[in-house]
Amino acid sequence: MDTRESFRNQITQGYTFKGDSIVLGTSMLNGETLENNQVKAPLKTFNRHGLIAGATGTGKTKTLQNLAERLSENGVPLLLMDVKGDLSGITQPGTLNPNIEERHKLIGFPWQPEKYPAELLTISEQRGVRMRATISEFGPVLLSKIFGLNDTQASVISLVFKYCDDRKLPLLDIKDFRKTLQYITSEGKEELEKEYGLVSTSTIGAIMRKLIEIEEQGADLFFGERSFDVNDLLRLDSNGKGYINILRLDDIQSKPKLFSTFMLCLLAEIYETFPERGDADRPELVIFIDEAHLIFEEASSALLNQIETIVKLIRSKGVGLFFITQSPADVPASVLSQLGMKIQHALRAFTANDRKDIKLASENYPISEYYTIDEVLTQMGIGEAFVTVLNEKGIPTPLVHTLLTAPRSRMDVITESEKDQILRSSVLMQKYEEVLDRESAYELLNKKIETASSETPDDSKTSSGRQEKSTFQEIAESSLTRTIVREVARGIFGVLGFGGRGSSSIFGRRR
């Protein structure tokens, strides 16, 4: 048996599975395409996570789009992190051209134009279904990790939450949290120290600076109500297709702290909300995180540890995570080791460092007797990739150079009118667009200050008959004045929507 035939047999055996699977493409050897030698991925192993890597312009985003389409067709809902803003075309049918026709003839997989049910989500100033969570829902531990606080500072965060819980002061958004920090270092300082002990003003100052840091990245739009229910990500349309939830993030590429904050919050809530699935035939939800390096490069060590833990555990809930980035080195080794499916597009060697990176990247894939991996990585065309997946038993399949299928939906962005039509018809848009408002810590503490000021006794006079203020009244009035000036100067931060759910878990699930 010649090399070509033995290779074909190896791929046929390695990529034949008992359960449902999706077609990724057909195999290639020595630069030639082997017609109808299909490369597939078992549907049940998509909760084992994955990596899509490759240089700019090699087709990573189209691979993401293609996988999302196949999963949706199999009744799997998805969440796509659209950092570059080019995934919205999945809502519109694609257009057949000669290149697609030839490619799919070689693969042996029919192609027809198709559009997919989708929701456009947002955590920034863009229009879309707004995803929010309250400060209370985060809780002191997660908030401390996001801020990157030391143990002493984290204990003060816990004290602030305890103080607000005891006095029924809801912490909904950033202005609530800031007001509480201000209050316990001025009007409420004596009360706090009497019940909970001394708190250093320098520690409060350090926490305030961390709050401002994340606030400047746009967190004021994210913290607040109405909180997003993660179960709304699990919808199917009337034809049984999974909804593709597209989170538009193209305006926060320069705000990695907000991105990593949001991702940790979302993954933590999904893990705590979803039931254990065991060995299911298909995943409950698959999340694709484009430009994944944004999560890791600005994250504190505590935040990274939290992300790594969730990645290891969340697959038991039937949730798959796919990281899309240029190089496998962008993903921490402890996370990379958890990624069962790997799709590696071409890498380009322009410098000596590039060649070293390619050599390192090639070592992340199974050894193959048919490929010199680091050489083939530099020779791949657009829409080609090395592929290895896990079979039903969790064993990696043979590494194969693959000519990938093309997306059936539009491989371009949608127009503004098409976007408006999607938002107008969105059930979730109607649910989360509603503006709610309820009294929270900011308003309650301001009332407390005003009441204390108005109830101060008016019986202290000087010998000349001039009225003097008590020490408490002077402090109250001067602090209140400073607060008003500060708020006018910096604006009223926070979200213009506070709900009445009173929940205490991230994204609105009641614990």
Average pLDDT, the chain: 85
Least confident of 116-130, 306-320, 449-463: 449-463
Q: pLDDT tens digits for 85-107?
A: 889 999 999 999 999 999 999 99
Q: What is the pLDDT of residue 404?
A: 97
Per-residue confidence at 248, pLDDT binned at 50, 70, 90? confident
Is the pLDDT at 452 greater than 70? The verdict is yes
Greater confidence, 27 or 479? Answer: 27
CA separation for the pair 224, 207 (Å, rounded): 19
Q: What is the pLDDT of residue 300?
A: 66
- Annotate 319-386 with DSSP letters as a single string: EEEEEEES-GGGS-HHHHTT--EEEE------SHHHHHHHHHHHTTS---SS--HHHHHTT--TTEEE
The owner of tokens 């708020």 is: 487
CA separation for the pair 32, 29 (Å, rounded): 5
DSSP 45: G
Query: Which tokens in the block code for residue 202?
Result: 């320098």
Least confident of 5-9, 31-35, 129-133: 129-133
As a whole number, mean pLDDT of residues 445-473 equals 60
As a whole number, mean pLDDT of residues 501-510 equals 46
As a whole number, mean pLDDT of residues 470-482 equals 43
Is the pLDDT at 265 greater than 90? The verdict is no
Q: What is the pLDDT of residue 479?
A: 40
Contact 343, 387 (CB under 8 A): yes
Q: Determine the Cα angle at 152 with ends 151 and 157, to 5°.
A: 90
Is the pLDDT at 266 greater than 90? The verdict is no
As a whole number, mean pLDDT of residues 272-296 equals 88
The dihedral through the CA atoms of 365, 369, 372, 378 has a sign that is negative
Three-state DSSP at 227 gives coil
The owner of tokens 């990739």 is: 385
Q: pLDDT tens digits for 38-58?
A: 999 999 999 999 999 999 999
As a whole number, mean pLDDT of residues 9-34 equals 95
CA separation for the pair 314, 318 (Å, rounded): 7
Is the pLDDT at 11 greater than 70? The verdict is yes
Least confident of 123-127, 143-147, 436-440, 500-504: 500-504
Is the pLDDT at 496 greater than 50? The verdict is no
Greater confidence, 255 or 102? Answer: 102
As a whole number, mean pLDDT of residues 301-325 equals 87
Is the pLDDT at 459 greater than 80? The verdict is no
Q: What is the pLDDT of residue 299?
A: 67
Q: What is the pLDDT of residue 252?
A: 67
As a whole number, mean pLDDT of residues 224-249 equals 93
Q: What is the pLDDT of residue 509?
A: 47
pTM for this predicted structure: 0.82
% of the chain beyond a pLDDT of 70:
86
Q: pLDDT tens digits for 186-205?
A: 998 988 888 888 889 999 99
Query: Which tokens in the block code for residue 156?
Result: 């003060």
As a whole number, mean pLDDT of residues 112-134 equals 91
Is the pLDDT at 114 greater than 70? The verdict is yes
Is the pLDDT at 470 greater than 60? The verdict is no
As a whole number, mean pLDDT of residues 307-319 equals 90
Q: What is the pLDDT of residue 508?
A: 53
Q: Determine the Cα angle at 170 with ends 498 and 483, to 5°.
A: 90
Per-residue confidence at 437, pLDDT binned at 50, 70, 90? low
CA separation for the pair 495, 473 (Å, rounded): 32
Domain architecture of the chain: domains with CATH: 3-131+226-432 (3.40.50.300), 135-223+438-457+465-495 (no CATH)
Per-residue HEC secondary structure of 479-500 comes to: HHHHHHHHHHHHCCCCCCCCCC
Which of the given ranges, 17-21, 72-76, 127-131, 200-204, has the highest pLDDT on average? 72-76
Q: What is the pLDDT of residue 507?
A: 58
Is the pLDDT at 155 greater than 90? The verdict is yes
Is omega for the bond preceding 70 within 30 degrees of 0, making it cis? no
Greater confidence, 294 or 411? Answer: 411
CA separation for the pair 277, 202 (Å, rounded): 47
Per-residue confidence at 364, pLDDT binned at 50, 70, 90? confident
Per-residue confidence at 307, pLDDT binned at 50, 70, 90? confident
Is the pLDDT at 466 greater than 50? The verdict is no
Three-state DSSP at 62 gives helix
